[in-house]
Structure 1
Amino acid sequence: MESSDCSVALSPGHFHNQGDEEWKRLLAGTRQRGELALVVTVVGRAEEDRPRNVFGPGGASVHLGDLFTSVGGRRLPAGTRPEIAPGVSGADRDLAIRMLTRPADAPWWSLQLSGVHLVRGDGSGTEEHHPPEGELHPILVDALGDPVVAAWSSPAGDQRWYVVPDDTGWDTVLGWLVHRALPEYVPGALRRARSPFFVDRDLQTADEQSARQALDELEAQYAEEKQRLAQMLREAEEKAKPVRYGLLYGSGSELADAVAQVLTAAGMSAVDLDEELGGTKSADLLVSAEGAPARLVEVKGASGPAQESFIGQLQRHLETWPQLRPGIPVSHGVLIVNHQHKLHPSERSADVYMRPEHLASLASLPVTVISAVQLFNWWRAGDWAAIRSAVLGSTDASVPTSAPAEPTQPQTDRPRWRWGRRQ
């Protein structure tokens, strides 16, 4: 077709005999008709291991229009999971949803507007700086809020460029252009072509308009509710991440902090004894709750099997406790061990200790042994009563009012060590 009759350009060229003339004719045609010129351009090269930037090292970039303006950036790490930018609606939101269906290993590039710095080649050393023009509207953003899919609008408002990453299927782009972008931005193009995908609302019946309005309202409500739930999910994930990682893969203070958060969520008071007493004079935590005796809690991490000496260390803490805080009686200790933490939780042994002779010696000791994985499973299910019972020895199964309202689920048998015997 004659390019001046077109309304959309796909990756237009900027060099003689490589698309520059066709692009200029398309732009002249849209201006004559008073229409918006739509462009879809691709950033980056998926087959390259490292980013490419024709304007400088370390990135990929594409030129926009006839201006001294480009958009592009660095290739993001593998596994990047973009999100829909806040406030995106209409055709742009539909593009965002379609782009999120790309394969999990598909590459992404961060995007930003850039101008150009020129130095005259006549030897005079004269420099010219051209700042970027137009505005970049994020559609999908990375974890830092930087756009990875965006729309650029020209200063005059007569061009709208969509920048998508390489390795994007053109069927996805073309389907979006015909069904959403053109009807929203250039409806005259589909009207001229008498496209079956164009619905002229001025020619619709009252029933059609009513159904269309109801559908639009439903889609708006869905988008609002989805955004609200997505925000709830992000907040829940941010809250759970440090506890989950600490319990399953942590050691030292990271593991102790995660255990303290879990015990506090279960309605218990957890005092950091290193901070309270100064140094490492006793166990990690002093745990208590109304109506139950206090417990010393020792938290240990082990990349392999748990050392049997952990029990002896907790016993010494119980013996020296009366000299440290004689006003707080403690006769029982709890050992929480994150053993084999270099393995996935599903690959670890269910029990902290398995040697029969050692298990027999634990029977007479005032010590409870709990694996960090078991504590994690109770925590993620919101089984606060199980946590209180395991740590405090309480038979009261009521959930404390201080515990957060989280969903519970039926529990299977909960293996734990109490007084050295399997319950």
Structure 2
Amino acid sequence: MSSSDSGLVPVHIGQPEPGSEREQGLLLRRERSRNVFDGPEPLRVPGDVAWEQHGLIPRWWGMESSDCPAAVEPGFFSREGAEEFQRFLSGARRRGEVALVFAVVGHVDDDRPRSVLASVDASVRVGDLYTSVGGRRLPTGMRPEIAPGLEGADRDLAIRLLTRPKDAPWWSLHLHGARSYRGDGSGAAQDHPAVGELHPILVDSLGDPVVAAWTSPSGDQRWYLIPDATRWESMLGWLVQRALPEYVPAALRRARSPFFIDPDLQTAGEQSARQALEDLQARYTEEKQRLEQALQEAKEKAEPVRYGLLYGSGAELAAAVAQVLVAAGLRSVDLDEDLGGTKSADLLVSADGAPARLVEVKAASGPAQEHLVGHLQRHLETWPQLRPGEPVSDGVLIVNHQHKLHPSERSADVYSRPEFVASLARGPVTVISTVELFNWWRAGNWTAIHAAVLGGNAAPPNPGAKGQAAAPAKKQTSSRWRWPGRRAGKRV
């Protein structure tokens, strides 16, 4: 049965049929060349692609390709594959159609060191002998954006590729020409500028394309350069549903493909409903990407504070505490920086309507030592000599105790010896665990932070974290005690 009778569209595949003797021979030659060329390039198209489900029939090496409207990963290995690809191009040219080509850029598993002189990590030859698209692998975590002004099938392709795994690599793409030399080495080198045009589909944060379409000068070839680790099922579905209808609709008509929806034969209701469905899918994908980006940014912003509060020590812990206090709307001064050395506590914290307080931040891998309170008490005693005329009201000791344990495994209270707790009731020091401070911060409970750090006389909080609303306080296991006659917020 011919492809036109079966309703399947033929597609040229630039490699041998999976499981064939020809493929085994190619793999054997590649294995033998491993020591010479430092490893052969992999075969791109897997053998388990569900071609018929997408309305396609593959034409591998040795099969007729002149009636194919599209080619997937045209490759030339050991001087094989060139004839099939040329017949594919000639057939499209004879029919007056655009030849659609898919080519993969880069190798996801290729992590070999690059020469400092190398300008690209991967390259795909397009069009003629002297034009290629070179790719430079981008850092992990780069998230591309849809190129401005993109419409139609290319915009749909961009939306589909935005759903690639977050850790999937990307390569920035640029057109390159070539330099040729005479075979005998005589004469000057001849430079050949790149031809055609590269149309961005997805771009990185610098505006360089990471997915693009290359078009030949005459417009008879359209190559789609896609990154490795892209699902072929998604690309083949796009080929039949969007690319062929837009660029080579006659191919679907010839094959009588059931996947082809001829707009000239649709009712207004069908066209309207289909367009609405496509618009909905596009909005969903874009909104999903926006929310994923917002989540990533929130995580990157929160992670230093979360790690610093729960597992940090020294300057890292003090910086995390200061960031939380500022997020709660308090004013925080780094006293080591302000006074020029470790002359006092770590922070001076204040807010409208409440006296300032000294804040000392400490970490302990095991239970907190009681002498930490004495350090802060001495800072309170020496403060008038450091800053006469700038009174402080008491101090706050914030302790990241047992920080080698998971927060859920730590004791709820920083100090638990009854006699010491009773002595703190008569002293000027409030003790807070970083776990408790963390729980208030992650819930946006700024009122609790104000009350704990500045006492009950503090003004209502005015968080400095833009757009971060105060959440209702949650019931927590607290490490504080209240004593008659003490201000609200005193605790150990």
Q: Shorter-chain TM-score: which interval? A: 0.7 to 0.9
Matched-pair identity in %: 67
**Structure 1 residues 34, 376: CA separation in 2 closer, same or farther (over 3 Å shift)?**
farther
Q: CA deviation at 1:148?
A: 4.5
Which residue does 1:377 correspond to in 2? 439
Shift in Å at residue 344 of structure 1? 5.6
Query: In the alignment, which residue of structure 2 is the partner of 1:5?
Result: 67
| TM-aligned CA distance change 1:154 to 1:326, over 3 Å | same
Q: Which residue of 2 aligns with 1:247?
A: 309
Alignment of 1:405-420 (within 5 A): 405-407=467-469, 408=471, 411-417=474-480
Post-superposition offset of 1:333:
1.0
After superposition, the Cα gap between the structure-2 partners of 1:69 and 1:414, relative to the gap in structure 1 and judged at 3 Å, is farther
Cα drift, residue 366 of structure 1: 2.0
SS at match of 2:398: strand
Displacement of 1:419 after TM fit?
7.8
1:192 deviation in Å?
A: 2.3
CA distance in 2, matches of 1:352, 1:368: 11
* 1:109-120 equivalence runs, <5 A: 109-113=170-174, 114-120=176-182
Contact 1:366 1:419 in 2 (8 A): no
User: 1:365 offset after TM fit, Å?
Assistant: 3.2
Q: Is the Cα–Cα contact under 8 Å of residues 159 and 285 in structure 2 kept in the other structure?
A: no
After TM superposition, the structure 1 = structure 2 runs for residues 83-98 of structure 1, keeping only pairs within 5 Å, are 83-87=144-148, 90-98=152-160
| 1:189 alignment partner, one of 244, 251, 257 | 251
Residue in 1 that maps onto 2:329: 267
Structure 2 letter corresponding to 1:256: A
Aligned-residue offset at 1:73? 3.7
Mapped partners of 1:237, 1:82: distance in 2: 15
- How many angstroms does 1:5 deviate by? 1.9
Distance in 2 between the 1:150 and 1:143 partners?
15
Moved more, 182-191 or 386-395: 182-191
2: distance between equivalents of 1:248 and 1:144? 36
- Picking from 108, 123, 133, the partner of 1:71 is 133
TM-score by length of 1: 0.81
- Give the deviation of 1:46 after TM superposition: 4.3
Structure 1: which amino acid aligns with 2:173?
Q
Which segments of 5 or more consecutive residues in structure 1 lack a partner in the other structure? none
Superposed CA offset, 1:60-79 (max 9, x none): 332223242333445566x6
State the Cα RMSD in Å.
3.9
What are the Cα deviations for residues 224-276 of structure 1, in whole angstroms up to 9, with x where unaligned? 65566566556545544554454345444443333223222222222222333
Q: Deviations over 1:123-148 (max 9, x none)?
A: 33623334444444454566776655
Deviates more, 1:159-168 or 1:394-403: 394-403
Q: Distance in 2 between matches of 1:349 and 1:81?
A: 41
Partner of 2:221: 159
* In structure 2, distance between residues paired with 1:377 and 1:358: 25
Q: 1:167 to 1:230 in 2, by over 3 A?
A: closer
Change (3 A) 1:63 1:233: same
Contact kept, 8 Å, 2:159 with 2:286, in 1: the verdict is no
Residues 61 and 72, structure 1, Cα contact 8 Å, conserved in 2: yes
* Letter paired with 2:342: T
**For structure 1, which segment, 293-302 or 407-416, has the greater mean C-alpha deviation from structure 2 after superposition?**
407-416
1:219-298 to structure 2, matched below 5 A, reads 219=281, 221-222=283-284, 225=287, 229=291, 232-233=294-295, 236-237=298-299, 239-298=301-360
Measured against aligned partners, the alpha-carbon deviations of 1:320-369 in whole angstroms (never above 9, x if no partner) come to 11112232222311122344556665565544456677656544432222
For 2:95, the equivalent position in structure 1 comes to 33
Residues 354 and 457 in structure 2, CA contact (< 8 A), matched pair in contact too: no
Please give the alpha-carbon distance, in whole angstroms, between the structure 2 residues aligned to 1:186 and 1:357. Answer: 86
When residues 64 and 283 of structure 1 are mapped into structure 2, their CA distance, relative to the original with a 3 A threshold, is same
Matched residues, number: 420
Q: Residues 222 and 48 (structure 1 numbering): CA distance in 2 closer, same or farther, change over 3 Å?
A: closer
Which of 279-288 and 134-143 deviates more?
A: 134-143
User: In the alignment, residue 90 of structure 2 is paired with which amino acid?
Assistant: A
In structure 2, the CA distance between the partners of 1:242 and 1:157, relative to structure 1 (3 Å rule), is: farther
Distance 2:436 2:220 in 1: 61
Q: In structure 2, do the counterparts of structure 1 residues 99 and 211 end up closer, same or farther at CA, with 3 Å as the change threshold? A: closer
1:127-142 equivalences under 5 Å are 127-140=189-202
Secondary structure of the corresponding residue to residue 24 of structure 1: helix
